[in-house]
Amino acid sequence: MSTGSDDPVRAFLAMLSAERGASANTLAAYGRDLKGATAVIGDLAGADRAALQKLGQAWGDLAPASLARKASALRQFYAFLQDEGLREDDPSGALPRPRARRPLPRLLSHAEITALFELAEADAAHGDPVAVRLLALLELLYGSGLRATELVSLPLAAVPRDAPFVTITGKGGQQRLVPVGTRAGKALTHWLDLRVAGGRYVFPSPRGGHLTRVRLFQLLRDLAARAGLDPEKVSPHVLRHAFATHLLEGGADLRVLQTLLGHADIATTQIYTHVDASRLVTLVNQRHPLGVTQGQVRIGG
């Protein structure tokens, strides 16, 4: 591509617009980041690794997400310069690489969960198959912590009638056994009794195949609105978070929770420990020798 400009930054932004279809907001954000870097080190196109290291110092007080965005803009800029033959080397390895913190999951309180279930149970009590299906879906999301894809694509063969568990094939084709509680088991049995025969999925689609994730999302949002909750707060993934959070609050072991959720790395499961800090402090106060000894300072006040 011929830039047709003596200003490398302007040429880079033009490329983003023409070749990648970047929006005006994206272009403006990249422009601000590159302009800010120029104010610190001068000529960006000719900057060396030592100059870029100064940016890491200047950006030291930024939030990890802001730092990552600025560094990304510069990395793309230097990759562009190499592609255009304007530089032979890429000094961007000297830029900081912040480890972005995993965002905390959105949470539903016990009261909000209760509101969802009370409405779903009232609807299902009339025996309408659509309502019975929704209650079964809700029970498996919150009661067993299934991912949306795992739930909607659950095959009939994975649901033994005589055992309180289902066999889930999760990410990477890994299989795990997931317990199905008494409540969820009753809801699932009720749905299977009403389900139209045929097909290989527990939750079939009228058009063939299985219920889609989009439709599951829509059903939950509608239920939340009718239950007086903010629909934006409710999704299949949020219910999975609630399953994990409330189990941890109840004393579940983190390794057990990892198995139930199908996490390959326990670091993924540890995101839930933040929600139960008060219980952990209480546990230390009650069980640690300094916490239970009369006259000793108690942790947490």
Catalytically active residues, by annotation: 147, 171, 237, 240, 263, 272
**Residue 177 is inside which H or E element, if any?**
strand 175-179
Alpha carbons 89 and 223: distance in angstroms, whole number: 56
The residue type of 133 is: R
Backbone angles phi, psi at 60, to 5 degrees: -60, -30
Alpha carbons 178 and 203: distance in angstroms, whole number: 18
Q: CB neighbours of 163 closer than 8 A, spacing ≥ 6?
A: none
Alpha carbons 154 and 200: distance in angstroms, whole number: 9
Alpha carbons 267 and 102: distance in angstroms, whole number: 10
- Asked if 269 and 254 touch (Cβ cutoff 8 Å), the reply is yes
- Would you state the structure tokens that stand for residue 294, as one six-digit string? 């009369």
Half-sphere exposure of 299 (CA within 13 A, CB side): 16
DSSP string, 197-255: S-SSBSSB-TTSSB--HHHHHHHHHHHHHHTTS-GGG--HHHHHHHHHHHHHHTT--HH
- Would you state the structure tokens that stand for residue 183, as one six-digit string? 């409540």
DSSP string, 247-301: HHHTT--HHHHHHHHT-SSHHHHGGGGGGGHHHHHHHHHHHSHHHHSTTSPPTT-
- Asked if 166 and 178 touch (Cβ cutoff 8 Å), the reply is yes
